[in-house]
């Protein structure tokens, strides 16, 4: 492993107040390293998506800290947090959230455009990323004309377009059939993961556990344990 | 920022159905607003036709006069008194009255007769046929070739008619800058012939036209005329008084204002509703953009750009359609009194900017409220 990518310390998050107060994350601490596929696994309502939001600078915790590059991201202003997400984190959402009115290439180029890169330069880079995910020939089609697996690849290309250190996948196989889901995660493991990047995946799909380096199990907002991933031993 | 605007542009125009609905709403609103206000401007412009066409710098009248077509004749001494005011270069009477003429076909037609001062012919129109000196010939009249001209059966020089049992002869055909409002042809003749041929009240000076020696003399002249118990107005003041009368004392202004407000509300409703739906449908995508790293101000900029682009495009289309319809209407209906002014265009632009502002405000509020966490939560 090439070093510490994210360090979460005693993260607590609750929603509501008074009798309606519900704890989603209760004192969670963990570390994820560069070069690893780190899974967060647990049943629905276990707090894994909330935890993902806390460590990616999307949802402010009630207490605790998230260190990236030795800096607590929650000490940043909202504009700094937006820059942090743009430059350090890549997101692959469960429903992809691609823009149906833009072409595939334009979708991939969005983070680059947000970084104020020139339009043509962004489109050229987008083509390179589409080539990496193997759908360069779909560059000028709108996402709605692509299959679920292809849309997932577009979302991955968009996530890696800004060359983030941390890549966040939220239930990457939830919208795909079993085979496609496995192929996508396998592809990510072999083509997207590298020594300079940490991939954090939230999932409860045990069929893709074999690609994990470590799996953190959660329940009721707490960590039950962190196991080593890899192929199942029969 | 150019790239972000390009994204905003593509998101907007690639959603063809919504974009068309947005454009239709704004175009329709602008079209209605321009049509209503230009019709009103045209009416106001025509209501001051006599003032514009005669072109005197100062008009003396009874204080109760509201427009040039409804004059109250003044006693003869007023003319002498005005002529004796310091600063008056010259002052001449103007007769303005209505009459019925019997055309050669036997048809009776209402006309407006303007009687010009016999010695100076001050306020005479530009002739396109005939010579102005012929106005001194027996029974001579000059006819104005405007939208109402055909109602006199397209007379030529030498055409005869009857006016109050007097013979009238066309000796000249003139053109004027503005046609009258009430669809009545205009005849010019001399002052003395006018008061002789047309049944008149005891007094006959409808207006006194004054040429001041200098602009500095105008306030003094106005004061002296006021001391006589009459009113002296500059050309612009008389036009303004006429406009004010039609705007506030006839109900015309109120009706046009109501129609304009209704057009605005219709445009705002269609555009606001459609833009709101457009934002709602893209709300998750805006949330995703926020999660990816777009800042609030960038999203606001995108929405403002989309609203402004739609508003200005709709504004241009609305003006285009209104201009086209007015042009066609004027070709088919010479009496059609519509006039697109810079004021109308400015007012419609302000209205459109307000529509865009309100529509985008609703969108911005919604987009700023969306939390990226909601995107994760689904």
First to last CA, chain B: 29
| Token pair 């009721």: residue | A220
The pLDDT value given to residue A232: 55
Distance from CA of B366 to the nearest CA of A (A): 18
Is B291 within 8 Å of A116 when comparing Cβ atoms?
A: no
Q: State how far the Cα of B37 lies from the Cα of B31, in Å rounded to an integer.
A: 10
pLDDT band at A93 (very low <50, low <70, confident <90, very high): confident
Which 3 state secondary structure label does DSSP give B273? helix
Q: State how far the Cα of B21 lies from the Cα of B10, in Å rounded to an integer.
A: 16
Whether the Cβ atoms of residue B59 and residue B91 lie closer than 8 Å to each other: no
Sheet of strand A22-33: strand arrangement = A22-33, A4-15, A63-68, A71-72
For chain A, what percent of residues have pLDDT higher than 70?
A: 97
Contacts of B7 in chain A (CB under 8 A): 102, 106, 110, 113
Half-sphere exposure of A84 (CA within 13 A, CB side): 20
Q: State how far the Cα of B259 lies from the Cα of B270, in Å rounded to an integer.
A: 16
A73 touches chain B (CB under 8 A): no
Rounded to 5 degrees, what angle do the CA atoms B153, B159, B164 make? 85
Distance from CA of A18 to the nearest CA of B (A): 22
B288 in the same domain as B173? no
Q: State how far the Cα of A118 lies from the Cα of A105, in Å rounded to an integer.
A: 14
B353 in the same domain as B265? yes
Contacts of B372 in chain A (CB under 8 A): 53, 58-59
Number of domains in chain A: 1
B83 in the same domain as B207? yes
Whether the Cβ atoms of residue A90 and residue A159 lie closer than 8 Å to each other: yes
In a domain, B56, yes or no: no
B126 in the same domain as B29? no
Q: State how far the Cα of B58 lies from the Cα of B185, in Å rounded to an integer.
A: 25
DSSP secondary-structure letter at B328? H
Residue range of the domain that includes B306: 2-46+251-377
Contacts of A24 in chain B (CB under 8 A): none
Q: State how far the Cα of B123 lies from the Cα of B240, in Å rounded to an integer.
A: 20
Q: CA-CA distances (angstroms) from residue B358 to A196, B305, B352?
A: 47, 13, 10
Question: Which is nearest to B268 in space by CA: B334, B356, B371, B195?
Answer: B356
Q: State how far the Cα of A3 lies from the Cα of A8, in Å rounded to an integer.
A: 15
Nearest CB to B10; choose among A97, A106, A122 = A106
Question: Which of A46, A60, A80, A82 is the mutation pick for testing B, counting most B CBs within 10 A?
Answer: A82
Is B376 within 8 Å of A82 when comparing Cβ atoms?
A: no
A85 touches chain B (CB under 8 A): yes
Is B7 within 8 Å of A91 when comparing Cβ atoms?
A: no
| Token pair 């003396």: residue | B60
The pLDDT value given to residue A172: 83
Q: State how far the Cα of A212 lies from the Cα of A215, in Å rounded to an integer.
A: 6
Distance from CA of A211 to the nearest CA of B (A): 23
B171 in the same domain as B99? yes
In a domain, B243, yes or no: no
Is A114 within 8 Å of B1 when comparing Cβ atoms?
A: no
Question: Which is nearest to A124 in space by CA: A105, A98, A137?
Answer: A105
Is A101 within 8 Å of B10 when comparing Cβ atoms?
A: yes
Contacts of B298 in chain A (CB under 8 A): 114
Give me A48's structure tokens.
């894994």
The residue in chain A having the minimum alpha-carbon distance to the alpha carbon of residue B302 is: A114
Listed in sequence order, the residues at least 6 apart from B231 whose beta carbon sits closer than 8 Å to its beta carbon are B60, B61, B62, B63, B65, B225
Whether the Cβ atoms of residue B146 and residue B175 lie closer than 8 Å to each other: yes
CB pairs under 8 A between A and B: 85
ipTM of the complex: 0.84
What stretch of H or E contains A159? helix A148-160
Q: State how far the Cα of B176 lies from the Cα of B50, in Å rounded to an integer.
A: 9
A30 touches chain B (CB under 8 A): no
In a domain, B196, yes or no: yes
B84 in the same domain as B23? no
What stretch of H or E contains B27? helix B16-47
Residue range of the domain that includes A125: 4-228
Strand stretches in chain B, DSSP E: 58-61, 88-102, 108-116, 126-130, 140-144, 160-163, 166-175, 186-190, 207-212, 231-234
Give me B215's structure tokens.
């602009």
Is B292 within 8 Å of A102 when comparing Cβ atoms?
A: no
Contacts of B295 in chain A (CB under 8 A): 78-79, 82
Interface of B with A (CB under 8 A): 1-4, 6-7, 10-11, 14-15, 284-285, 287-296, 298, 371-373, 375-378
Rounded to 5 degrees, what angle do the CA atoms B146, B150, B154 make? 105
pLDDT averaged over chain A?
89
pLDDT over 50 at A130, yes or no? yes
Nearest CB to A97; choose among B11, B284, B373 = B284
Is A93 within 8 Å of B375 when comparing Cβ atoms?
A: yes
In a domain, A233, yes or no: no
Which domain CATH number covers A216? 3.40.50.300
Is B294 within 8 Å of A114 when comparing Cβ atoms?
A: yes
Q: CA-CA distances (angstroms) from residue A170 to A92, B112, B136?
A: 6, 84, 98
Is B376 within 8 Å of A79 when comparing Cβ atoms?
A: no
Give alpha helix (H) positions in A46-100.
Answer: 48-55, 78-88
Q: State how far the Cα of B145 lies from the Cα of B154, in Å rounded to an integer.
A: 9
What stretch of H or E contains A228? strand A222-228
Nearest CB to B3; choose among A52, A58, A113 = A113
Question: Which is nearest to A188 in space by CA: A217, A152, A143?
Answer: A152
B343 in the same domain as B265? yes
Q: Considering only residues 87 to 126 of chain A, which have any Cβ-Cβ distance to chain B shorter than 8 Å?
A: 87, 89, 91, 93-95, 97, 99, 101-102, 106, 110-111, 113-114, 116-119, 122
The pLDDT value given to residue B378: 63
Number of domains in chain B: 2
Is A59 within 8 Å of B371 when comparing Cβ atoms?
A: yes
The residue in chain B having the minimum alpha-carbon distance to the alpha carbon of residue A91 is: B292
Q: State how far the Cα of B251 lies from the Cα of B255, in Å rounded to an integer.
A: 6
pLDDT (tens place) for every residue of chain B, 378 residues total: 788 999 999 989 998 988 898 888 889 888 988 988 888 888 888 878 888 888 889 999 999 998 887 888 899 899 999 999 999 999 999 988 888 889 988 899 999 899 999 988 988 888 898 898 899 988 999 998 887 888 888 899 899 999 888 999 999 999 887 776 777 888 999 999 998 888 777 888 889 999 999 999 999 999 999 999 999 999 999 999 988 888 888 887 788 888 888 888 887 788 778 778 888 888 888 888 888 889 889 999 998 999 899 989 999 999 999 999 999 988 887 667 788 889 889 988 988 888 888 888 888 888 888 888 877 666
In a domain, B17, yes or no: yes
The pLDDT value given to residue A234: 45
Is A94 within 8 Å of B378 when comparing Cβ atoms?
A: yes
B92 in the same domain as B200? yes
Q: What is B174-216 written as a DSSP string? A: EE-SS--SSS--EEEEEHHHHHHHS---S--BSEEEEEESSGG
B188 in the same domain as B106? yes
Listed in sequence order, the residues at least 6 apart from A52 whose beta carbon sits closer than 8 Å to its beta carbon are A40, A168, A170, A200, A202, B376
The residue in chain B having the minimum alpha-carbon distance to the alpha carbon of residue A54 is: B373
Residue A74 has φ and ψ, to the nearest 5°, of: -85, 5
Which 3 state secondary structure label does DSSP give B61? strand
Is A58 within 8 Å of B11 when comparing Cβ atoms?
A: no
């Amino acid at each position: 492993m090439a070093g510490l990518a994210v360090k979460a310390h005693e993260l607590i998050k609750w929603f509501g107040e008074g009798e309606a107060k519900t704890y989603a994350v209760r004192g969670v601490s963990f570390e994820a390293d560069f070069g690893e596929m780190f899974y967060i696994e647990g049943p629905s309502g276990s707090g894994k998506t909330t935890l993902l939001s806390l460590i990616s600078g999307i949802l402010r915790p009630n207490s605790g800290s998230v260190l990236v590059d030795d800096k607590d991201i929650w000490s940043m202003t909202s504009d700094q947090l937006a820059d942090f997400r743009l430059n350090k984190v890549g997101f692959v959402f469960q429903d992809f959230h691609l823009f149906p009115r833009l072409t595939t290439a334009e979708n991939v180029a969005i983070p680059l455009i947000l970084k104020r890169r020139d339009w043509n330069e962004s489109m050229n880079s987008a083509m390179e990323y589409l080539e990496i995910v193997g759908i360069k020939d779909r560059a000028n089609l709108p996402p709605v004309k692509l299959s679920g697996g292809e849309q997932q690849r577009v979302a991955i290309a968009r996530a890696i377009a800004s060359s983030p250190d941390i890549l966040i996948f939220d239930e990457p196989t939830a919208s795909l059939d079993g085979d496609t889901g496995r192929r996508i995660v396998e592809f990510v493991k072999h083509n997207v993961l590298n020594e300079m990047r940490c991939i954090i995946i939230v999932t409860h799909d045990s069929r893709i556990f074999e690609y994990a380096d470590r799996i953190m199990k959660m329940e009721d907002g707490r960590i039950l344990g962190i196991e080593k991933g890899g192929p199942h031993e029969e | 920022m150019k790239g972000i605007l390009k994204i905003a542009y593509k998101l907007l125009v690639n959603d063809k159905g919504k974009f068309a609905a947005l454009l239709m709403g704004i175009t329709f609103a602008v079209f209605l607003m321009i049509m209503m206000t230009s019709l009103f401007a045209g009416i106001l412009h025509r209501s001051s036709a006599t003032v514009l066409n005669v072109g005197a710098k100062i008009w003396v009248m009874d204080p109760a006069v509201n427009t040039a077509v409804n004059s109250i004749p003044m006693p003869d001494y007023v003319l002498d008194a005005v002529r004796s005011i310091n600063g008056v270069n010259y002052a001449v009477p103007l007769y303005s009255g209505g009459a019925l003429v019997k055309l050669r076909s036997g048809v009776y037609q209402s006309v407006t007769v303007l009687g010009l001062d016999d010695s100076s012919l001050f306020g005479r129109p530009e002739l396109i046929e005939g010579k102005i000196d012929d106005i001194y010939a027996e029974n001579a009249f000059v006819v104005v070739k405007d939208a109402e001209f055909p109602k006199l059966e397209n007379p030529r020089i030498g055409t005869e008619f009857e006016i109050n049992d007097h013979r009238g002869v066309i000796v000249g055909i003139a053109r004027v800058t503005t046609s009258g409002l009430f669809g009545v042809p205009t005849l010019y003749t001399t002052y003395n012939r006018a008061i002789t041929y047309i049944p008149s009240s005891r007094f006959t000076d409808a207006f006194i036209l004054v040429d001041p020696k200098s602009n500095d003399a105008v306030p003094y002249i106005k004061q002296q005329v006021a001391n006589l118990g009459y009113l002296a107005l500059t050309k612009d003041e008389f036009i303004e008084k006429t406009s004010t009368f039609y705007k506030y004392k006839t109900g015309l202004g109120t009706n046009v204002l109501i129609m304009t407000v209704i057009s605005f509300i219709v445009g705002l409703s269609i555009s606001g509703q459609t833009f709101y739906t457009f934002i709602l449908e893209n709300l998750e995508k805006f949330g995703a953009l926020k999660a990816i790293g777009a800042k609030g101000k960038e999203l606001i900029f995108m929405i403002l750009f989309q609203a402004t682009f739609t508003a200005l495009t709709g504004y241009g289309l609305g003006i285009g359609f209104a201009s086209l319809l007015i042009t066609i209407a004027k070709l088919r209906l010479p009496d059609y009194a519509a006039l697109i002014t810079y004021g109308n265009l400015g007012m419609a632009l302000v209205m459109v900017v307000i529509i865009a502002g309100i529509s985008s405000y609703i969108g911005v509020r919604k987009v700023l409220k969306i939390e990226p966490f909601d995107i994760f939560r689904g």
